[in-house]
Structure 1
Amino acid sequence: MIPTRRTTAAAATAVVLASVGGLLTAVAVPASAATTCTSPGYKRQLFANTTFKGTPKKTDCDSAIDQSWSGAPASGLPKDGFGVRWTVTRDFGSGGPFTLTASGTDGVRVHLDGIRKINLWSDTTGSRSKSLNVTMPGGRHTLRVDYVNWTGAAKVKVGYAPRTDATVDKVEPLAPAGFAATYTDATQQAKLSWRKNAEMDLARYRVYRRVAGTTGWQILSSPGTTVTSYTDTPPATGETYEYLLRAFDKAGNHSADTATASVTSLAVTTPTGFTVTGTDTGIAVGWDAVPGAVSYRVARYSGDPGKSWQTTATSLNDTGVTRSTRNTYHVAAVDASGRVTAYTTARTARRLVAAPTIGQAFPRASAVTVTWDADWKSGGSYTGFRVYRAEGTSTDWTEVTDRCGWYERELADGSDQLLCTDWSAVARTAYRYTVSGFDSSGNEGLRSSEVTATTGTDGQAPAAPTTVTATAEDWGTTVSWSQVADADLYRYTVWRGTTVDGACTDTEKLGYTAVTATTYQDVDVADGENLCYVVRPVDFAENVGAGTTADVTEHDLRPTVETPAGATHAASASLSSSGSVQVSGWSPAGTEEYERFRAARWNPLTATFDALPDSDHEPLHDENVPTGTSLWYQVVGVREDGTTSLPVLVSVAVPPSS
C-alpha cells in the first residue's frame, strides 16, 4: 500500500505507482478534497468499522492490493474491527477470459460491476484463497474489493489477469483506433500513428503496406505494445501506397484490419544527361542530379573487371581502368528507401593512351629525325603513333606520320627508342615536333611536349670508337669495339682492307650494325692473309665519324696438298640454313658438258681429301660438318665414260653454332 498525502485545495499533485499489464508506472493523482486515482490504480478507502458506513477515515491511491497489517492500518483507525474498500474502473478493450484471485485472513469480497464474484467472508486466523475464471465483457468495467479485519493480524491480496492460452482465449483484440498516415517529400517518409489498445493481453501490433490497386500486403514491422507510431520510407516511385494496422494478443488472436491510410510518394527517376568520356587519368562518368535521390549507383560491367560505386555526387573518374580498353557503364538513382531505379542506357569509352615521352629532334640536310619513348609493347594500349610538325612559331600543326614511317630500335643501354624521320622537311628551316599515340580503335591520346630542330645545321660527326680489336678465328675474324655515346648515333659501319707495309689499303664496306652492337663477324675463309678492319660510326645526318683501325693475320687452314690447275669447270660451296654444306659444280657455257660432279673434303688430321657420298643430284650435301672452322673441297666433273676432270678447289667458313 502506498498511502496518499493529506492535502488541501491549494496543493498541486501527488504521484503514486499504478499497475499496467503487470508493470508499475507512475500515476499522477490530483490532490483535492475528493481524492481521484488514475486507472488502473485503485482508489482506497479505510473505515473504522466493518460495515463501511459513514465517512472513510482515510482515502488514498494504491497500485496493487497486497497488504499485511499487524496493527492499525492508518492513524485514527483501530487495530481490530476496521474495513478497507478498493475500487477501479478501467477499459478492458475487447474483454475476454480473465482469472480473479483473492486470498487473506478474515473477510474478502470481490465484485465486478456490482456483482459479487468471490466471497471469503468469516473471522479467521488463517489465510484462505480462491481463484475464479470469468469472461470479462469488452469496454469499461468496475472492480470493487471489500476487506474487513475483525480481530488479530490483517492480510489481503487480490488480483486479476487475462488468460492467454490459445485454447482458452478466442477473443480478438479491437482494431487500433485513430490510424492515420502523412508523407513528407523532404525525407521521403510516411509517418503512421494510432491510439494504444486497452487490452491487458496485447502482445504487439503489425504494420502492413501495399501499392494501391494491388492485393498483396507486405509486413513492415511488428512494434511492441507501448509503440503508437511507425515511420516508413516507401520506394520513391510516385505511386500511392496503402497502409493498415492490426493488433495481436498473447494467444495469437489478431484484430480486424484498420481502415487503410494512404500516401503518394515522391517520384525518383532514372538519371538523365549520362556521359562517359575517356581522359588521360581514367574515364569520366557524369549525369544530371535527380530530385529526391539520396545517392547514385554506378556500375562498370564490361571491359576491365566489374566494379560498382555508391556516391552522393553526380560524377566520378574511374582511374582503375587499363588504357585503351573498352569499358561500359550505366548509372541508377537510389531513393531514401534504398530502392534503385532502372539503370540508364549503357555507354562505353576508353581511357586515352598516354602521351609519349618526347626525346630529341636531330636535323639532317633536309630532313629531321624525331625520337620518343612509349611503353607500347607491355601495356598493349598503343596501336600506333602520329607525328605532328609546325614551322617556326606557327600554331598550325601538320601530321607528317605518313612521310616518315615510325619504327623502333633498341639502344645500347637496353632501352627501346621509337623514331621517325620527316623526309618532307625543307633545308635551312626551323621546325617543332610533337607526338601522340592511338589505340586499336583509332582513339588518339594526348600529345607529347615539343622538340625543335633546324635542318642543315648538323655538321658534327660522331666520335670514333675508343678501341677496336680484330680476333682471328678458324672460320674468319671477330671485330669488336667500344660503344660511342653520341645521342644521334644512327649505326656503325664496318670496313675491311689489306695490310700492306703497315698501311690499310683497298678497303671495302662489309656492312653495318645497330647502335646496340659492339661486334661484327666477318665470315671469311681463313687463308692466312694480313687484314685490317675499320669501324666508323654514322649519325642521323649521315655524318660519318673518323674510323678506328685494327689489324689481324688470318689463320691458314688451306690444304697442304696442292690442287692442280687447268680444270675446265666451275664450282662453289655454301652453308645452308640447316647447317650442312652444299657443294655445286657446273660447266661454263661453250665448254664440255659433264654428266655429274663429285666432291671430297680436306681432312687436316690425315692430310687427305675424303670423298663425299656419290649422288646424281645437285647440289651435293655434306651433312654433320664441324663448326667453328673453314672447310675446303675439291670438285671434279664426271663424264659419261666415267673419266673425271681436273679438280677445282672451293671453300666455305662455318662459324660456331649459336
Structure 2
Amino acid sequence: MHQKRSVAALTGGALSAVVLGGLLAAAPQAVAADVTCSTNVYKRTFYKNTAFSGSPVRTDCDSAISESWSGSPVAGVPSNNFGVRWSVTRDFGSGGPFTFTASATDGVRVYLDGVRKIDLWKSTGDTARSKGVNLTVPSGKHTLRVDHVNWTGAAKVKFTYTPRTSATYDRTKPLAPTGVKTAYNTKTRKTTVSWSANKEMDLASYSLYRRPVGSSTWTKVTTTTTTARSHTDPLVNPDDRTPYYYEVRAKDKAGNTSSGSADTIVRPLPVVTSLTGTYDKATGKVALKWPLNTEPHFDHYTVLSNDMVNGSYKWVPLGTTKGNTWTTGPVTADGETRHYRVLVTNDGGTTTYNRSGLDPLATNELWLDIPDGIAPAYAPDLSLRSCASGIQATATDYTPAPIRDFTGFEIERREAGTDTWSVALHKTYDPRPTTATATVCDPLPADGRTYEYRARTYDTDGNYSPYSETRALTVPGGVG
C-alpha cells in the first residue's frame, strides 16, 4: 500500500486539503478576510457552490461586472457549479429613472435594496441571454446586489446600471451642490470658489453664480465640467470692495437644474459693524469707538471727518490706528451735526470704498450731534408802553427766518433803583410772520413807580444772546 501524498492548496489564504490518518480529507473552509472596497466599487465573493452557502473562497473588489470564464474563475473554485456575488452601496443623489441591464449564461439575479429586479435563473449552456428593466431609484443611498451561478460550461456575466438622460423620462432635479468654500486673495483681489462633487450619475455641468449683498439679482460667473469643481473669479472692477454671495448650481444631461447651494458670503475686507461716539463738553473732544476686527487679513483702520475744505465738504483723514478707539482734537460746540467714518485696510493694501457723500445707512459712519455752545449773536429790540393792567413789553428781532439762531425771547423786569431782576416773559415766537416778536402785558400796581425792562433771545441748548438796551416806564399813581 502506497502512502498517499498530502495535497494542499492555498486559496485566499485557506488550506483546502490535509492528510488525516493517511487519507485525504477536505479541510474546513477558512473565513475569507474581510475586504473594504473603494467608493462605488463592487465587493465580489466567490463560492464553490450555487447556493452561496458557507464561507466564500475568495473576496475581492471589482470595478465593473463583465466576466467571461471558460474554466475555474479563481483558485479553489470549481469550473462548474459555483456562484459569484457582487454588492455595492452607493449614493444615487436625487435618484431618478435608471435602466438595469443584465446578460449571463445560466443564472443571474439583480436586487435593489433586497428587492429582485431581474431574474434569469435557468441553465443555458454556453449561450448568454440578456434582460433590461427601466425603474426609478429613490434619492439617497441604496444597495445593488448581483448573483451569478454557473452550473456547467462557460460562465459569462455582465451587468450595468445607467441613468436615463432623456428629458422625456428624467424630470428629477439634481441635488444642490454642497461643500462650497471660498478663499479671497487680498493681494490679487480675486475669489476662488470650490465645491464637492455631486452624487448624481447624470450630471452635465456646474454653474457658479454671484450677487452683491443687498441685491436679489444673480449673475452667472462661469459654467464648468463635472470634474472642474473650482473657479477663481476676477471681478470686472479689481478695486471692488463689495461683499458678494456665491452659490453653485448643478445641471443634468436631461436639462434639469438644481436649486442653488447654500449662499456663501465673501467679504473682500473686514467690516466695521458699528461706530459710536460721545462729545466731552469739558474738553470739546469727540471719542469714537467700534468693535475690533480679528480677521487674519486685517491690517489697520483710517479715521476720517467730513469737514469744509475750500468751500465744500470733504472726507479728511484724521489718522490711522490698529486699535478700535479714536479721540479727535477739540471740536467747536456749535450745535451742528459732525460726521465721522472709519475705513478698513487689509494686508493686501485694499481699503474700504470711501464714497464722497454721506451715507446714513453705513455701519462704519457716525452722525453725531454736537451740543450748541454758541449764543445767539444779536440782542433783540425792546419797546414799552402802557397796557390795561400795567406795562406792555415787546421784544422784536428782524433776522430773516432761515438764519435765525434762537428759538424764543425772554423779558426781565426790575423796579428802578433795585438790583433784582425777575422774568416777566419766557416763550417761543410764532415763526410764521416775517418779524419774530413776543409781547407781555406785565400786571403792576398803579403806584407811580418806575420799572426797568431788558430782553434777550435764547436757543434750544440754553444759550442766551446779549441783553437789549434797558428801557424804563413809570406806572401812573392811583387816585387819592
Q: TM-score, normalised by structure 1?
A: 0.36
Q: TM-score, normalised by structure 2?
A: 0.49
